Amino acid sequence: YGPECLEQYKENLHKFFSQIKALVGRECLMLWTLAMPLAKKIKGGFLVPEVSHLAPSLCYDIIEANFYCSQLADAYGLDVLDLHFHFRFSLQHRMPDGVHWDALAHRRISSLLLGHAADAWGVHLHAPPPHPGQ
């Protein structure tokens, strides 16, 4: 937070990605997920009074941060899964606080993560069986 927060964020991402690449073997799949959409009006514990003035722009700041970190994660050789993209039209699954998501959204996230990992490892996933009566 504060006037230098964007530069600190970028610097911290560089540090994090370079350290994680140094610690994790090449054969390990590293997957970076982008933040999901925030509501224009949010309520939550992380929004402390000192930064509450940022609330109106956070939904747009997330988009900018996602763009930057996706480019950087890719440059460091991480796989990137854009959850913001996948949930941009599923806002009905967002909880009233404007930050968290319901159980159906979390099931979809799990499915996306598993599918992404399977694809990265060259594993072909079969289509689910049809529902009874179809």
Confidence grade of residue 47 (pLDDT, cut at 50, 70, 90):
low
Is it the case that residue 38 has pLDDT exceeding 80?
A: yes
Beta bridge partners of 80: 32
Compute the distance between CA of residue 49 and CA of residue 85 in angstroms, rounded to an integer: 30
- For residue 65, which of 38, 25, 87 has the smallest C-alpha distance? 38
Pair 90, 105: CB distance under 8 Å: yes
Looking at residue 127, what is its pLDDT?
76
Looking at residue 134, what is its pLDDT?
53
Region 128-134: mean pLDDT is 66
What does DSSP say about strands 79-81 and 31-33: parallel, antiparallel, or unpaired? parallel
The 10s digit of each residue's pLDDT in 50-84 is 667 777 778 888 899 999 999 999 999 999 999 99
Looking at residue 40, what is its pLDDT?
86
Residues 6+ apart with CB under 8 A from 118: 124, 125
Domains of the chain: 5-120 (3.40.50.1110)
